[in-house]
Amino acid sequence: MDSIISSPGSRKLHRKDVGDREDIFSKLPDSVLHYILSFLSTKEAIRTSILARRRKLLWTYLCDYDIEYLSSTDKKENQNQIEKCLLSLVDTLLHKACHIKRFRFVAYGVMIDADQAHSWISAALKHKVEHLDLSLDIRTSFVLANSFSAPESLNYLNLELGCVLNIPSCIRFPGLKTLTLSCLTFLDETSAQQLFSGCPVLQKLTLYNCVWKNIENVSIKLPTIRTLVISQDPNSDELFNCKVTIDAVNLVSFSCTSQLALDLALINLPSLVDAYLEVSNRRLSLEQFAVPRAIKVLSGICHAKSLILAANTLEYISFAEDLLSVLPTFHNLTNINVCGMFEFTSKALLDILEKSPNLEVLQINLGLYGKEWTFNSVPHCFKSSLKSFIISNFEGCPTDMKLLNFLLENATILREITIFCEERLSADSEKQAEISNQLQIVRRGLANCVINIQ
């Protein structure tokens, strides 16, 4: 084999192959070139246009486009020209491409004219695009024209425009299943209602840092939605004097990370399976509003089967007067995951457990400073349904042991305790053995309970 490779004839053939490579590639049919380009990123595909005149617009025959640009804070001399070329390239693509299936354009720090953005969206929709993702800095009111028509093919839409969004009454998105709205300000109640009512088959809705200051009271009915995600900046101290009522009879999954500057009312959620609530309010000026609003959200998700609560949530609802009396009863709840404990939040957790009569799995992530356990009563589920307890970031300190002892003494049908140790305890096998021995003594009344120390 080595002799063949090193022979003069083979070297001559090798040089001929190298010289012919460009000609061979140029003679490939367009369909093959399109297939090759489909494996490249949008940036790499566009770069091939410099190789030959024939390939100048070859990249416009692709179906998927992903363009992302982040403007430098230190403006270079040619920065404006670069951005002008970028916008021109996007304009060329949307108006000259043969077919667009998926289009994503992210341009942070580049001011976009509202009319130009509207032109791009209209052009993309004329291609019967399926996936449209735009993150642009518009900073002015953005109005979808009355002539706007979303094709049945559009099933995914992400709009991050940083502007006031105005939706005329005739706008509809007949095939839209996933909608994400970020950094948008709703013009008024009518515009907001029109947007959501114009999505008859919507299944997933994400609202990220949306501004509701122009709305006092709006009711949104979402009969087809399955997943709802609401997220707000925890550092914002802006209070929206706005009540948003969401009616979603088929909602399965709900997630809310918010300072609850928005008065959110969730009604008619009988199908809810899992819920996540994090009241991430870092502004004391909003505390008096966050407490009752957090309890209102908990009341709205009371049909959930699985509930994840952030430590901040327990902290805020613990300020409620007579918390046990204002909490809803979680009849369907079988799994609770508490992500952290702050000082004096143990009572709030015990009150929630008391209102969860059918709870089977309790998971607690400790690992936060200042935690202290106060046990004034034994939740009903400890005696009737709790079968599994999982604790992570376990340190083995007296307060941690107090929690486990209370559990072993009162959870009469408990079948399994799983303990995930924090780093220092994981490296101390003697301390682990000591803890295991202490727990075995306490668990004598629970012959069927297995204790796993990880």
The candidate with the shortest Cα–Cα distance to 109, out of 155, 81, 75, is 75
pLDDT score recorded for residue 11: 41
Confidence class of residue 69 from pLDDT cuts 50, 70 and 90?
confident
Is 19's pLDDT higher than 70? Answer: no
Lowest mean pLDDT among 127-141, 193-207, 426-440: 426-440
Query: How far apart (Å, rounded) are the C-alpha atoms in residues 353 and 350?
Result: 5
Per-residue confidence (pLDDT) for residue 72, from 0 to 100: 66
* pLDDT score, position 239: 65
- Range(s) of the chain covered by CATH 3.80.10: 305-454
pLDDT at 272: 97
Class of 305-454 per CATH? alpha beta
Q: Work out the mean pLDDT of the chain and round it to a whole number.
A: 81
Is the pLDDT higher at 346 or at 366? 346
* For residue 337, pLDDT beyond 80: yes
DSSP 123-181: HHHHTT-SEEEEEEE--S-EE--TT----TT--EEEEE-SSEEE--TT---TT--EEEE
Q: Is the pLDDT of residue 3 over 50?
A: no
Residue ranges of alpha helices (H) inside 269-345 are 287-300, 311-317, 323-326
pLDDT tens, residue by residue, 99-144? 888 889 888 878 888 888 888 888 888 888 899 999 888 867 777 7
Q: How far apart are CA 177 and CA 382, in angstroms?
A: 41
C-beta separation of 96 from 123 below 8 A: no
Q: What is the pLDDT at residue 454? A: 79
- Span 356-362, mean pLDDT? 95
Classify 63 as helix, strand or coil: coil
Query: pLDDT class for 5, splitting at 50, 70, 90?
Result: very low
Q: What are phi and psi of 292, to 5 degrees?
A: -65, -30
Q: What is the pLDDT of residue 388?
A: 93
96 by Cβ neighbours in 10 Å (0-12 / 13-18 / 19+) ranks as exposed
Q: What is the pLDDT of residue 445?
A: 62
Q: What does the pLDDT read at residue 12?
A: 42
What is the Cα–Cα distance from 157 to 169, expressed in whole angstroms?
19
Q: What is the mean pLDDT of residues 15-27?
A: 51
In whole angstroms, what is the distance from residue 393 CA to residue 426 CA?
Answer: 10
